Amino acid sequence: MKRLFSLLLTILLSFPFCAQTNTKIKQMEEQRSQIDRQISESEQLLSSAGKNVNEQLAALSALTAQIEKQKQYMKRISADIKATNAEIKSIEEQLITLQVELERRREHYAHALQLMSRKNTFENRLMFLLSAESFNQMVRRMRYLQEYSGFQQKQGELLIAQQHELDNKRIELESSRKSAQLLLVKQQEEQAELDKKKKEQNSLVASLRKKQKDIRKRIAKQQEERDRLNAEINRMIEAEIAAQEAKYGKGTGDGQAQTGGKDNKKLPVFHENAADRKLSGSFQSNKSKLPVPLTGPYLLTSHYGVNYVEGLKNVKINNHGVDVRGQMNCSARSIFDGTVSAIFQHPGREGSFIVMIRHGQYISAYFNLTNLKVKIDDKVKINQPIGLIHADAEGNYTLQFQLRKGTQSLNPEQWIAF
């Protein structure tokens, strides 16, 4: 019976390995497909470079974003190839173990059948029963013969099941090998596509290098505008906090004042009631899982912090959020439940607005909006449309998105599931 238990354990343990392997490969395929789909969708956002500097810079930023996404996909493929090869090795080891165990079980089963064929004749069984010293012993011997017969039958069934498991493992191994071969082909195709995009990028950079002085001026002007807007958002947040302090008194917030800056200066915080505290906690728990603040295909064309223009020396811009390019008629959408706390027009851009939404202690800000669908004090839900993205002079639809905790600037890429 111990050997039977050992056989059962071997079979039962082998099934999860099969399930885990298939599940893992499926998960890898889904992750890879998601990136592949994003690349395909964002292809249409790659605008051809025009003659003027703004058009060329816009084309370069989109192309650079696409190259980054392509590199991410290549990295994913390499990881999948490595994982698939590890799975192949694991399956091969399982196959060897199963094959050895199956051969051993076959030998034991064949030996048991030989013994049974010699001793399990009608006369032997009859003599075994009739030699019982009492009626109760005879009943027990009859039950033993029945159980022994059932045990042999069960062993035969288990051997068949183990053979099936061995066959399934061989099929799984072949499937994994085919997956690895397809991944290698895909890797070569994507490398060719990446090389093509890099060639386009180099051509654009070569053209822009001739205009570096003009570009620096344009970038400096953009930086001034970003800084002014950033300061305006800070001012509005501080004004809202000050109004709360006037109403509720200082020190009535959540008791966890933020610190920021090199001097570790304490930053002001919002007064929170029970509902606000719950909302802040829920927002915090969704870090890295919040939705992209733009509908449809997108390209992340400028990251949080200092961004250098590809291929150009000392041409950089400090982004207080991220820039996300979408397609025509794309909408900005709220990344979480909250309340519209402020709306104001973008200075120097007629018809373009900035919307701020408060989520407890957190604030999300959406720039370059038109055809607004919300107003101040509106309650909004996650993924609710806020307004359309306003087109720039080059016809690009770019949302600048910022995220704050009070007046403390946060990196949206650590919070949004880009």
What's the pTM?
Answer: 0.66
Task: State how far the Cα of 114 lies from the Cα of 119, in Å rounded to an integer.
Answer: 9
Rounded to an integer, the average pLDDT of 135-147 is 71
Task: State how far the Cα of 285 lies from the Cα of 411, in Å rounded to an integer.
Answer: 16
Which region among 64-78, 154-168, 286-300, 314-328 has the lowest average model confidence (pLDDT)? 154-168
* pLDDT surpasses 70 at 2: no
pLDDT digits (tens, 9 = 90+) for 36-69: 777 777 777 776 555 667 778 888 888 888 898 8
Task: State how far the Cα of 178 lies from the Cα of 209, in Å rounded to an integer.
Answer: 46
Other beta carbons within 10 angstroms of residue 390's beta carbon come to: 20
* pLDDT surpasses 80 at 10: no
The pLDDT value given to residue 287: 96
Q: Which residue has the tokens 């449309």?
A: 385
Looking at this protein, which amino acid is placed at residue 406? G
- Burial call 115-137: b when 16+ CB within 10 Å, e when fewer: eeeeeeeeeeeeebeeeeeeeee
Contact 113, 152 (CB under 8 A): yes
Task: State how far the Cα of 331 lies from the Cα of 324, in Å rounded to an integer.
Answer: 11
Average pLDDT of the chain to the nearest whole number: 80
Rounded to an integer, the average pLDDT of 281-302 is 94
Task: State how far the Cα of 272 lies from the Cα of 255, in Å rounded to an integer.
Answer: 10
* pLDDT surpasses 90 at 409: yes
pLDDT digits (tens, 9 = 90+) for 23-44: 666 677 777 777 777 777 777 7
Query: How sure is the predictor about 12, in pLDDT bands with cuts at 50, 70 and 90?
Result: very low
pLDDT digits (tens, 9 = 90+) for 348-383: 788 899 999 999 999 999 999 999 999 999 999 999
The pLDDT value given to residue 7: 39
Report for 8-22, 308-322, 399-413: range of highest mean pLDDT = 399-413
2-42 helix and 53-119 helix, angle to the nearest 10 degrees = 160
118/184: higher pLDDT = 184
Of all residues in the chain, what percent carry a pLDDT higher than 90?
A: 27
* pLDDT surpasses 90 at 310: no
* pLDDT surpasses 70 at 264: no
* pLDDT surpasses 90 at 249: no
The pLDDT value given to residue 284: 95
Looking at this protein, which amino acid is placed at residue 78? S
Other beta carbons within 10 angstroms of residue 335's beta carbon come to: 27
* pLDDT surpasses 70 at 254: no
